[in-house]
Structure 1
């Protein structure tokens, strides 16, 4: 089986015909209905919209060609074609689902009245466009949507040292703009190299021995 991500305590896998949800605490397994198309073997990312016991639960899967949706209680998938947007990471922010694709464009994903994606017009700072960069991370931090970028420089002694930069999306201007942050006060950010796994933030991490303004 292929690993697609983790969400609300469930690991998400797929094989050629089915998606499989596995509760990481109890081992309970849930198997949504069979895929209706052989093209779905190219699925690479999955995310739950809500906890599994929620009556409005939806499971969203992404393949290279389409986006699929299963609503709990139904025995079919709905499908929406994607026009070249290979989704890289998804976060939920203020009731909206934001996605970043592999060329770092930001999109919103809507499930009503039907599955759809829309690119968000965003202005980038010049410092974000020069040098060598890794794929950035989206992180929700309180009422801020952050982008964490790892810029890499070349050093003859130490190889390729990296420096984290953090940007906050300013929605009050049009188009929205990434604004660099020098520090993020009493927050700690948690990242993972596998972008299918969720990023998250924690306020006042000193309560459990962590560090503020730390990644």
Structure 2
């Protein structure tokens, strides 16, 4: 705690601060997956399996969009998001077979204040609850907090989306509260749950993620030896 000359409590000093850069990196390389900037031609076929009409309806309940019924329409969507600077969209690529099996994005970028959010987290069923899913989140957080130097990394979701809330907590995000009546989507109300990781706690959170992701933590058939919360 610091105090000013009038005896009022004030925040800790932030020196030599400068605004951050927008995300621009086309490839983030990992052990089990890579994140590749969305390329409509390269990723169309794989991602249409994730976003298209065969995608389970339950995967879209808490997303502000619906699955695509037409491949040409989906290609137009991919072209649009591939040109976007904010959000900056990535495809999640399985290193074993080079298939795109999901997407995520860095978004709501505030360069002046150093805040950025992970969003558009859309996973195929084969990606959910895998080490690739965890590593994809790890790679994006490393890029935002380590390489780009943001101070605050956010995760937001519908407060009723229990799997998303559990995923945020598992990854080390800290629950901050509920913004009531925050959004209207799909003709219904959304209260939004807010989570964050800040720069001062990232080193410990990063170390825990790296311990879990280490190849030595998995058996030959890919089963975890320790759960993330045990690392």
Please say whether Structure 1 and Structure 2 have the same fold, judged by a TM-score greater than 0.5: no
Higher helix share goes to which structure? 2
User: Comparing both structures, which one devotes a greater share of its residues to strand?
Assistant: 1
Q: Which one scores higher on RCO, CA 8 angstroms, separation ≥ 6? A: 2
